[in-house]
Structure 1
Amino acid sequence: MHYLISIIGLIFVIALAWLVSSDRKKIRYKPIVMMIVIQLILSAALLNTKVGLILINGISTVFLTLLDYANEGVGFVFGGIANEGEAPFFLTVLLPIVFISVLIGILQYLKILPLIMKGIGLILSKVNGMGKLESYNAVASLMVGQSEVFITVKKQLSQLPAHRLYTLCASAMSTVSMSIVGAYMTMIEPKYVVTALVLNLFGGFIIASIINPYQVKKDEDILDIREEEKQSFFEMIGEYILDGFKVAVIVGAMLIGFVALIAGINHTFDLLFGLSFQQLLGYIFAPFAFLMGIPFSEAVRAGGIMATKLVTNEFVAMMDLSKVADSFSPRTLGIISVFLVSFANFSSIGIISGAVKGLNEKQGNVVARFGLKLLYGATLVSLLSGVIVSFVL
C-alpha cells in the first residue's frame, strides 16, 4: 500500500511543478525520468545496502570527528559557561561551524574544492540536460553556501537571462552548505542528512526542468569561474574564521527571533482558538505529509514540523523534531528528516536576492521578482526527496 501512496505522491509533486511551468511544450521528460531513477537507486543504495551504510558511517564519522576538534576550540574559549551535563545549542551546534568553514577555506585555497566542483558539475551536465554553469552552481552551492556561490560565477552573472538565473537560485535554495552539515548531524540522523544532500542535488534539476524548461545552446554553454583574490594562507584562514563565526551568530540570532515568535504566536492561537499555530499549520500540511508516505495517524504532527521549516528555518524545525522524535515511527522520522535538509524557507528569498543584488543590482531585482516561485520550486524539491525516500524505507 505504501508504494501506491508513494507513486501518487511522486505524480502529485510533478503535477504541482507542471502547473506553474513557464513553457510546458519545452519540458524534456527523458532526463527527468532518468534523474528520478538515479534518485531511487542512490537512496536505496545509501539506506538499504551494506556499502551505503559503510559510506554513510564513514562520512558521519568524519564530520563527528571534526566536531570533536571544533569543540576543543569552543571549550577553550567558553569552557565553564555551561553547567555540568548541559549542552547549550550555540556552543555545541553553531560554533563548530567556524572550524568547518576554515576547512572549506583551506580546500578552496589549495584548489582542491574548485576541481571537485568542476568535475562533478561536468558529470551532472551530461545527465541533467542543462548547461555546465547550472551543474557547477548546484555542486558549488552544496560546497560553499547559497550566497557565497554567486561570487564564484560573478563574471557571468550580468549576462544570464532570467530563466538561467532562476535555475541557479533554485539550486542554491534546494541544497545546504557543507559548513553546517555537521550541525544538522547533531540534531537528526547522519544517514538522512547525507541522503538528502544527494537527492536534493538531482531534485533541484528535476523541478527546475519542469517549472523553468529551456535548453542551453552550445555557444552559451560556458563556465567562467571567478578566481579569488590572491591572499596569504593565514589571511585566508582569518577570513574564513570570521565568515564562519558570522554564519553561527546570524543563525543564532534568527533562532532567538523565530523561536520566540513561534512561542508567542502559539500561545496567542491557543488562547483564541484552543490550538497552537503549529497545530493549525499541521492540519494544512497533513495532506502533503501523507502523500510523502507518512502514515495518516502521524501526518498532522509531521505537517506541523514541515510548515515550521517553511515559515521559519530548518534549524527551528529540526529542534522541534528532536523533541518529539520518539513519538514517530522510524519511517516517518526518516521522511521528515530528509524533507528538512534544505534552505527552502521564506528568509532564503531575501538571502539569495540580497547576495545577487550585492554583485549585480539589476539581476538582484530580477531574483526578487520571482522569489515566491523560487520558494515554491525549492519546497517541491524537498517534497520530492521525501517521496523518493518513502519508496525505500
Structure 2
Amino acid sequence: MSYLIALVGLVVTLALAYIASTNRKIIKIRPIIIMIVVQVILAYLFLKTVIGIKIIQAIAKVFDKLLLYAADGINFVFGGVANEGAFVFFLNVLLPIVFISVLIGILQYTRILPFIMKGIGLLLSKINGMGKLESYNAIASAIVGQSEVFITVKKQLGQLAPHRLYTLCASAMSTVSMSIVGAYMTMIEPRYVVTAIILNLFGGFIISSIINPYEVSDEEDILVVQDEEKQTFFEMLGEYILDGFKVAIIVAAMLIGFVALISLINNVFDLIFGITFQEILGYVFAPIAFLMGIPSSDIIKAGGVMATKLVTNEFVAMDALSKVAKSFSAKTIGIISVFLVSFANFSSIGIIAGAVKGLNEKQGNTVARFGLKLLYGATLVSVLSAIIVSLVLT
C-alpha cells in the first residue's frame, strides 16, 4: 500500500508541474524517466547499501573534523561565553560556516572547484537533455551558493532568454550551498542531507524540464565561466572569511525574527481559536505529506513542519522537526528531513532576484516577475525528492 501511495504521489507531483508548463508539446519524456530512475538508484545506494552508507559515513566524518577545526577558532574568540556542556546554536551551528567558506575560497582560488563543476556539469548535460550552462549552474549552486553562483556566469547573464534564466534560478533555489551543509548535519542525519542534495540536483532538472521546457541550439549551448578578479591569496582569504561571517549573521538574524514571530502568531491563534498557527498549516499540508508517503498518524505534524519551511526557512523548520521528532516514525523523519534540505521558501525569491539584479538590473526584474512560479517549482522538487526517498524507505 505504501508503494502505491508513493507512486500516486509521484504522478500527482509530475502532474502539478505539467499543469504549470509553458509549452507541454515539447516536454522530453525520455530524459525525465531516466533521471527519475537515476534518483531511485542513488537513493537506494545511499540509504540501503553498505557501500552507500560507508560513503555517507566518510562524508560525515570529514564534516565532523571540519567542525572540530572550526571550533578551535570559535573557542578562541568566544571561549567562556557558553556554560560548560551547553549547546549554543549560533556558536555550534552557524559560526562554523565561516571556516567552511574559507575552504571553498581556497578551492576556488586554486581552480580545483571550477574544474570539478565544469566536469560534472558536462556529464549531467548528457543525461538531462539540457544545455551545458544549465548543468554547470546546478553543480555550482550546490557548491558556492544561490547568490554567488550568478557571479560565475555573469558574462552570459545579460544575453539569457527568460526561459533559460528560470532554469538557472530554479537550480539555485532547489539546491543548498556547501558552506552550510555542516550546519545541516548538526540538526538532521547526514545521510539525509547528502541524499537530498543529490536528489534535488536531478529533481531540479526534472521539474524545470516540465514546467519550463525548451530547446537549446548548438550556437546557444556555450558555457562561459567568469574568472574571479585577480587577488592575492590573503586578499581572497579575507574576502571569504567575511562572506562566511555575513552568511552566519544573516541566518542568525532571520532565525531570531522568524522564530519569535512564529511563537507570537502561534500564541495569538491558540488564545483566539484554541489551535496554533502551525497546527492549522499542518492540516493544509497534510494531503501533500500523505502523498509523500508519510504515515497517516504523522501527517498533521509533518505538514506543519513542511509549511514552516515554506513560510520561513529550512533552519526554522529543522528546529521545529527536532521538537516533534520523538513522536515520528523513522520513515517520517527520513522523508521530512529530505524535504527540508533546500532553499525553497519565500525569502529565497528576494535573495535570488536581488543577486541577479546586482549583476544585471533587467534580468533581476525578470526573475522577480516569475518569483512565485520559481518557488512553486522548487517546492515540487523537494516533494519529488521526498517521494523518491519514501519509495526506498518503504
Matches within 5 A, 1:52-201: 52-201=52-201
The one-letter code of the counterpart of 1:205 is F
CA distance in 2, matches of 1:285, 1:21: 23
CA distance in 2, matches of 1:190, 1:204: 21
The one-letter code of the counterpart of 1:221 is D
Map Cα deviations across residues 149-180 of structure 1 (whole Å, 9 max, x no partner). 00000000000000000000000000000000
Q: Secondary structure at the match of 2:297?
A: helix
Matches within 5 A, 1:315-326: 315-326=315-326
CA distance in 1, matches of 2:26, 2:366: 22
Map Cα deviations across residues 223-282 of structure 1 (whole Å, 9 max, x no partner). 001000111111100100000000000000000000011001001110111100000000
The one-letter code of the counterpart of 2:203 is G
Q: Could you tell me which residue of structure 2 aligns to residue 40 of structure 1? A: 40
Q: Secondary structure at the match of 1:229?
A: coil
> Aligned pair 1:270/2:270, yes or no?
yes
Q: Secondary structure at the match of 1:217?
A: coil
Matches within 5 A, 1:21-40: 21-40=21-40
Taking every aligned residue pair, what percent have the same amino acid on both sides?
A: 74
The one-letter code of the counterpart of 1:340 is L
CA distance in 1, matches of 2:135, 2:296: 37
CA distance in 1, matches of 2:19, 2:296: 26
Shift of 1:324: 1.6
Shift of 1:92: 0.3
CA distance in 1, matches of 2:389, 2:316: 22
Shift of 1:327: 1.2
Q: Could you tell me which residue of structure 2 aligns to residue 260 of structure 1? A: 260
The one-letter code of the counterpart of 2:218 is K
Q: Could you tell me which residue of structure 2 aligns to residue 241 of structure 1? A: 241
Matches within 5 A, 1:271-290: 271-290=271-290
CA distance in 1, matches of 2:136, 2:372: 24
The one-letter code of the counterpart of 2:207 is I
CA distance in 1, matches of 2:145, 2:377: 18
Query: Structure 2: any 5+ residue segments left out of the alignment?
Result: none
The one-letter code of the counterpart of 2:128 is N
CA distance in 2, matches of 1:49, 1:68: 28
Query: Structure 1: any 5+ residue segments left out of the alignment?
Result: none
Map Cα deviations across residues 174-230 of structure 1 (whole Å, 9 max, x no partner). 000000000000000000000000000000000000000001001100000100011
The one-letter code of the counterpart of 2:121 is G
Q: Could you tell me which residue of structure 1 aligns to residue 387 of structure 2? A: 387
Shift of 1:121: 0.2
Map Cα deviations across residues 282-317 of structure 1 (whole Å, 9 max, x no partner). 000000000000001100000000000000000000
Shift of 1:322: 1.1
Matches within 5 A, 1:319-358: 319-358=319-358
Shift of 1:379: 0.2
CA distance in 2, matches of 1:87, 1:267: 26
Q: Secondary structure at the match of 1:46?
A: helix
Map Cα deviations across residues 69-120 of structure 1 (whole Å, 9 max, x no partner). 0011001100100112211100000000000000000000000000000000
CA distance in 2, matches of 1:180, 1:248: 9
Q: Secondary structure at the match of 2:219?
A: helix
Taking structure 2 as the reference length, the TM-score comes to: 0.99
Large movers: runs of 4+ above 2 Å: none
CA distance in 2, matches of 1:189, 1:132: 33
CA distance in 2, matches of 1:49, 1:366: 44
The one-letter code of the counterpart of 2:157 is L
CA distance in 2, matches of 1:99, 1:138: 23
Q: Secondary structure at the match of 1:297?
A: coil
Taking structure 1 as the reference length, the TM-score comes to: 1.00
Shift of 1:337: 0.1
Shift of 1:25: 0.4
Matches within 5 A, 1:216-231: 216-231=216-231
